Structure 1
Amino acid sequence: MTITYEWRGDFDNSAVNALHAEGFDHRPVNADWLTRVHRHSLGWVCARHDGDLVGFVNVAWDGGAHAFLLDTVVAVGHRRFGIGGGLVAEAARQARTAGCEWLHVDFEDDLRSFYFDACGFRPTTAGLVAL
């Protein structure tokens, strides 16, 4: 299986909405991802197989040294092939090229192995407030 990764790649809002709904197990919504990422993100990575969007990660940032992974998602039928790790690796490469010094991520407990073992993140102390 050949997967291509595109930094700031073109995408269709409906494709990201469908991928997000499938990957995060929620009903589809009509979010304007294009406006969102162009307004708030350092960039994003699209993973494609035969032209179809099979993975996506948004890279938000603070305009300086810190970048943040958001919405890392791979289509259910394309999981366990290293696509998620490829998305994160490309996001890290591009954030480093942009001058970022840190790449942050938060995740649910069942993804610890993915982020720590497969992607090389290390545990840190962090906090969260529900708003």
Structure 2
Amino acid sequence: MLRTRNISASDHPAVHALLDKADLAPPGAYGPGDLGVVVAEDEGAVVGAVEFLFDTDFGRDEGRPDHPGPQTWVFSLAVAGAHRRRGVGRALLAEAARQAQEAGNTYLALAPAEGDDEDDRHAFFRMCGLMPIEHDVPCAAWGGPVSEVLSSKTADQGR
């Protein structure tokens, strides 16, 4: 059964491997006060991870007026290949949104990676309640109200 939970020290190698396989830069060691990291676990194995940071203001700092103000920024989201299209990614984003809401944030944002399956990623983010923030901007960020992410279909699957 799928469940989401905060990362533990024993999860670090699995999370690094997931991020590496997804061509996302693995971080260094996680420390107190660093990124929020949630893992998805299925039958005792880590099958997905999301890294995020509360109270960021990416976009406006870069002079992008259409970008919303303070938000929770998702740095990376990775799901093991055999577990894709099973609600793992959605459960991870929902848990990041739940924690964002608990921290007083009302907006969740990210920048989808570019690549061959970009259309699939965009469709996934739309299903999770996210939309492009700016149009016609290279590497445009996507985002949405935390409430939209939490109310998206099956958002509570991993809890």
Aligned pair partner of 2:7 in 6, 9, 19: 9
2:99 corresponds in structure 1 to: 94
Tell me the TM-score normalized by structure 1.
Answer: 0.78
The answer as to whether partners of 2:48 and 2:80 remain within 8 angstroms in 1 is: yes
Which residue identity is paired with 1:87?
L
Tell me the TM-score normalized by structure 2.
Answer: 0.65
1:123 corresponds in structure 2 to: 132
2: CA distance, partners of 1:98 / 1:25: 26
Deviations 1:53-75 (A, max 9, x none): 10000111236941011110000
1: CA distance, partners of 2:106 / 2:24: 33
**% same residue:** 31
Deviations 1:10-34 (A, max 9, x none): 14321111111222388xx6x4242
Aligned pairs for 1:1-131 within 5 A: 2-6=1-5, 8-11=6-9, 12-24=11-23, 31-35=27-31, 38-41=32-35, 43-62=36-55, 65-107=70-112, 108=114, 109-110=118-119, 111-116=121-126, 118-125=127-134
Aligned length: 120
2: CA distance, partners of 1:23 / 1:76: 9
Judged with a 3 Å threshold, the aligned counterparts in structure 2 of structure 1 residues 34 and 124 are, in CA distance, closer, same or farther, namely same
Secondary structure, in 3 states, of the residue corresponding to 1:34?
A: coil
Q: RMSD across aligned C-alpha pairs, in angstroms?
A: 2.5
The answer as to whether partners of 1:22 and 1:76 remain within 8 angstroms in 2 is: no
User: Runs (4+) of structure 1 moved beyond 4 Å?
Assistant: 126-129
Q: Which moved more, 1:83-92 or 1:8-17?
A: 8-17
- Which of the two has greater helix per residue? 1
Unaligned 5+ segments in structure 2 are 58-69, 140-159
